[in-house]
A and B are shown apart, each in its own frame.
Chain A
């Protein structure tokens, strides 16, 4: 495969998102740089570390442009060959290409891969294509074009109208129309006004905001400047989880660069708009994702929410009119301005316009970040993009909406995902986590997990949330240990409904969702725990008993190697046996068995 590409003018993009970094992408990046600067390399090529490409499962990813080659799972050992073959002569190294599991064909360009084909990138448009530390890279891809256009020829009211027309709804989970929020704030009289970016991504299993802040910080900044112009704000804050050190670093560099290029500071681009942004590092409290709690945190208080008789648009940070939007919402704003509200509104469903980024994780083959038009079905996301369930296991449920979301069963896989359909299904959009669960996930235990998480994170201010979660946790722990009683189910429902009506903030009101949705769709699992003292998924230790079905066991010995307590024995090629005295129910045997011979009682 020889190409006609200009060998002297190529760019190598090395994915340096969190997933790829953990798999050694920085070492690959450095080895490439080192290899390319050595004297016997004749080509002029440059390398760039980029943000997350989303396909974390196959990392580290290395893309070579304009050849449009995507190499997967690249290690340092592959670097000399990449330089020698692909970079010097244009030859494609077949073994580093992705092999489609269905067609068995190697695929050269990532655009042709199923994982990317169905995606539609707006919020993630630049990630993986640019060096986040380079403002020029962002500008080269239409960056800061929207703010330049707005400052030159669009009135603040027109900007707000455009955002309203686009139908953009808050991507942090609330789903409130962004444009209407801006309009309400612009209509107030008090000054100064503030703009806040909510980057306190606390949902376990969701990392799209992190990816955007790390991989394309300027789009967030540009979105905020456009809002500042529209509502007349003078100062902005980006509230980021302190754990996201790379995001903090890249945002810091981006703000400095934007300032020195005149996009932030006094009289932006010669206009009368003056606006600047500070970074505030969060302290790791889930409730701070709630806007009033986040405001309290920026002010230097504990992050407790308040009741919203008056919205932050009127009285927010330090009692002044404030707009808070989520990272992903901000990333959509420049595109809406550049390409027009109409084009944006043409994507998606009746009530939810545009795209949504999902973090597709759990028991799915292609783990990673995906961006699809609103209205895409769960089946398309999990099976077409995600590649289905690994190990030939059976799909059980998909959990959406973070800890306060719900679990959706396989009968609803054709649900077209948007803000409204998910709420109707007893779950919610949340920030867009999609956690796929198979028959090895216990739905009672997962409800216990979320309730435990929320009980730890409840700020404790209002009684229904504080006490309700504790009571639920205790009950669920009992059921997982085999001490459940039939009346526990009514008790859980009762508390859940009380919390939904009486809690102060959205955290408490949505906290019973994981319990109520699993009770609704997976009541049989609760009953198996309570009536039969059995955990069908083999997760709850006290109720689990693994055994090997002799007829299915080939005696390959794989489970023997995985067992951490040497609790499995048997002759080679003969059926093996689990020693129940030694077994710690860790599940390594069942997870690794290729013949489905390990069973749960």
Chain B
């Protein structure tokens, strides 16, 4: 199922928010759970949260853009989180980011046009012994080399008809 085709299920959002009292202190948790369900934070989610907690939408938006955990745009079917913690960085994570750009044409924060892949950098996944590491959805790929990243992309169905450029 492509991400683009996904409709925002309002009933689902309301159901998630029922787990929390309608208080300001739960805005962050509400946003996290909504994002957990949809893999991003849809505008509808922020609107419903704002009205339930009785704060302006701008306030929820300011939190959604302040905290790094939130994405306001849908992610790809496969989301690569390239760890750019210090250990990964000095072991060449920037090379992996370049390689992904070269082969998939996306930079951190972007999604491929077909909605298949997206890439983001994260500050540290706490798996420094495995540096440089990439997380594809939930799976950690340890000690990735610049040649190895191509195999990883292929293993998720990318670069099907790629020729080496």
Which residues of A are interface residues toward B (Cβ below 8 A)? 18-19, 21-23, 56-57, 59, 201-207, 210, 242-244, 280-286, 297-303, 359, 361-363, 367-368, 399, 403, 433, 435, 437, 440-441, 446, 449-450, 453, 459, 561-564, 566, 584, 586-588, 591
Enumerate B14-51 residues with CB–CB distance to A below 8 Å: 23-29, 31-32
Q: Which residue of B lies closest to A241 (CB)?
A: B69
Q: Which residues of A contact B164 (CB under 8 A)?
A: 566
The answer to whether B128 and A361 touch across the interface, beta carbons within 8 angstroms, is: yes
The answer to whether B1 has its CB under 8 Å from any CB of chain A is no
Q: Which residues of A contact B66 (CB under 8 A)?
A: 283, 285, 302-303, 459
- A201 and B128 alpha carbons, distance in the complex (Å): 14
Q: Which residue of A206, A283, A298 contacts B70 across the interface (Cβ within 8 Å)?
A: A283
The answer to whether B86 and A449 touch across the interface, beta carbons within 8 angstroms, is: yes
| Given A204-B85, A205-B86, residue A284 in contact with residue B126 (CB < 8 A) | no
Q: How far is the CB of B152 from chain A (nearest CB, A)?
A: 13
- The bracket for how many chain B residues form the interface is 35 or more
25 contacts between A and B (CB under 8 A): A19-B130, A21-B140, A201-B126, A202-B123, A204-B86, A204-B87, A204-B89, A205-B85, A205-B128, A207-B127, A207-B128, A242-B32, A283-B28, A285-B66, A297-B28, A300-B26, A302-B66, A361-B131, A362-B128, A362-B131, A368-B129, A433-B86, A446-B89, A446-B90, A586-B98
Q: How far is the CB of A259 from chain B (nearest CB, A)?
A: 19
The answer to whether B147 has its CB under 8 Å from any CB of chain A is yes
The answer to whether B129 and A281 touch across the interface, beta carbons within 8 angstroms, is: no
The answer to whether A361 and B87 touch across the interface, beta carbons within 8 angstroms, is: yes
- A361 and B128 alpha carbons, distance in the complex (Å): 6
The answer to whether B95 has its CB under 8 Å from any CB of chain A is yes
Q: How far is the CB of B29 from chain A (nearest CB, A)?
A: 6
Q: Which residues of B contact A562 (CB under 8 A)?
A: 145, 147
Q: How far is the CB of A560 from chain B (nearest CB, A)?
A: 11
Q: Which residues of A contact B142 (CB under 8 A)?
A: 22-23
- A101 and B122 alpha carbons, distance in the complex (Å): 35
- A22 and B69 alpha carbons, distance in the complex (Å): 22
The answer to whether A205 and B127 touch across the interface, beta carbons within 8 angstroms, is: no
The answer to whether A367 and B147 touch across the interface, beta carbons within 8 angstroms, is: no
The answer to whether A281 and B28 touch across the interface, beta carbons within 8 angstroms, is: yes
Q: Which residue of A23, A368, A441, A459 contacts B90 across the interface (Cβ within 8 Å)?
A: A441
The answer to whether A435 and B25 touch across the interface, beta carbons within 8 angstroms, is: no
Enumerate B90-139 residues with CB–CB distance to A below 8 Å: 90-92, 95, 98-99, 122-131, 133
- A561 and B98 alpha carbons, distance in the complex (Å): 19
| Given A399-B86, A441-B90, A562-B147, residue A22 in contact with residue B130 (CB < 8 A) | yes
Nearest 9 A/B pairs, CB to CB: A283-B67, A56-B129, A204-B85, A207-B126, A361-B128, A284-B69, A204-B124, A367-B129, A22-B140
Q: How far is the CB of B107 from chain A (nearest CB, A)?
A: 15
Q: Which residue of B68, B122, B130, B145 contacts A23 across the interface (Cβ within 8 Å)?
A: B130
The answer to whether A205 and B130 touch across the interface, beta carbons within 8 angstroms, is: no
B24, B123, B128, B146: which has the most chain A beta carbons within 10 Å?
B128
Q: Which residues of A contact B131 (CB under 8 A)?
A: 361-362, 367
- A486 and B26 alpha carbons, distance in the complex (Å): 51
- A449 and B121 alpha carbons, distance in the complex (Å): 13
Q: Which residues of B contact A566 (CB under 8 A)?
A: 164
The answer to whether B147 and A588 touch across the interface, beta carbons within 8 angstroms, is: yes
Q: Which residue of B lies closest to A362 (CB)?
A: B87
Q: Which residue of B lies closest to A450 (CB)?
A: B86
The answer to whether B90 and A363 touch across the interface, beta carbons within 8 angstroms, is: yes
The answer to whether B62 has its CB under 8 Å from any CB of chain A is yes
Q: How far is the CB of B127 from chain A (nearest CB, A)?
A: 5
The answer to whether B150 has its CB under 8 Å from any CB of chain A is yes
Q: How far is the CB of A283 from chain B (nearest CB, A)?
A: 3
New contact pairs (5) apart from A18-B126, A210-B126, A362-B131, CB-CB < 8 Å:
A244-B126, A281-B32, A300-B24, A359-B128, A362-B91
| Given A22-B140, A283-B63, A299-B25, residue A453 in contact with residue B123 (CB < 8 A) | yes
The answer to whether B146 and A564 touch across the interface, beta carbons within 8 angstroms, is: yes
Q: Which residue of A lies closest to B135 (CB)?
A: A22
| Given A205-B85, A206-B124, A283-B70, residue A435 in contact with residue B130 (CB < 8 A) | no
Q: Which residue of A lies closest to B95 (CB)?
A: A586
- A433 and B68 alpha carbons, distance in the complex (Å): 22
Q: Which residue of B lies closest to A245 (CB)?
A: B138
Q: Which residues of A contact B70 (CB under 8 A)?
A: 283
- A459 and B62 alpha carbons, distance in the complex (Å): 12
- A345 and B126 alpha carbons, distance in the complex (Å): 30
Q: Which residues of B contact A242 (CB under 8 A)?
A: 32, 69
Q: Which residues of A contact B129 (CB under 8 A)?
A: 19, 56-57, 59, 361, 367-368
Q: Which residues of B contact A561 (CB under 8 A)?
A: 147
Q: Which residue of A210, A301, A433, A588 contacts B145 across the interface (Cβ within 8 Å)?
A: A588
Q: Which residue of B lies closest to A584 (CB)?
A: B98
- A407 and B69 alpha carbons, distance in the complex (Å): 29
- A490 and B156 alpha carbons, distance in the complex (Å): 49
- Per-residue interface assignment for chain B, residues 41 to 81, with 1 indicating a CB less than 8 Å from any chain A CB and 0 otherwise: 00000000000000000000011001111100000000000
The answer to whether A56 and B28 touch across the interface, beta carbons within 8 angstroms, is: no
- A587 and B145 alpha carbons, distance in the complex (Å): 10
- A298 and B91 alpha carbons, distance in the complex (Å): 35
Q: How far is the CB of A566 from chain B (nearest CB, A)?
A: 8
- A201 and B31 alpha carbons, distance in the complex (Å): 21
The answer to whether A302 and B69 touch across the interface, beta carbons within 8 angstroms, is: no
A56, A361, A449, A591: which has the most chain B beta carbons within 10 Å?
A361
The answer to whether A587 and B86 touch across the interface, beta carbons within 8 angstroms, is: no
Q: Which residue of B lies closest to A208 (CB)?
A: B126
Q: How far is the CB of B37 from chain A (nearest CB, A)?
A: 14
Q: Which residue of B lies closest to A22 (CB)?
A: B140
The answer to whether A564 and B32 touch across the interface, beta carbons within 8 angstroms, is: no
- A437 and B126 alpha carbons, distance in the complex (Å): 18
Q: How far is the CB of A235 from chain B (nearest CB, A)?
A: 12
Q: Which residues of B contact A284 (CB under 8 A)?
A: 67-69
Q: Which residues of A contact B27 (CB under 8 A)?
A: 300
Q: How far is the CB of B88 from chain A (nearest CB, A)?
A: 8
Q: Which residue of A204, A303, A440 contacts B67 across the interface (Cβ within 8 Å)?
A: A303
Q: Which residues of A contact B28 (CB under 8 A)?
A: 280-283, 297, 300
The answer to whether A587 and B123 touch across the interface, beta carbons within 8 angstroms, is: no
Q: Which residues of A contact B122 (CB under 8 A)?
A: 243
The answer to whether B68 and A285 touch across the interface, beta carbons within 8 angstroms, is: yes
- A399 and B90 alpha carbons, distance in the complex (Å): 12
- A282 and B127 alpha carbons, distance in the complex (Å): 19
Q: How far is the CB of B89 from chain A (nearest CB, A)?
A: 6
The answer to whether A205 and B124 touch across the interface, beta carbons within 8 angstroms, is: yes
Q: How far is the CB of A105 from chain B (nearest CB, A)?
A: 24
The answer to whether A22 and B99 touch across the interface, beta carbons within 8 angstroms, is: no
- A299 and B27 alpha carbons, distance in the complex (Å): 9
Q: Which residue of A lies closest to B133 (CB)?
A: A22
The answer to whether A435 and B63 touch across the interface, beta carbons within 8 angstroms, is: no
- A399 and B89 alpha carbons, distance in the complex (Å): 13
- A367 and B150 alpha carbons, distance in the complex (Å): 26
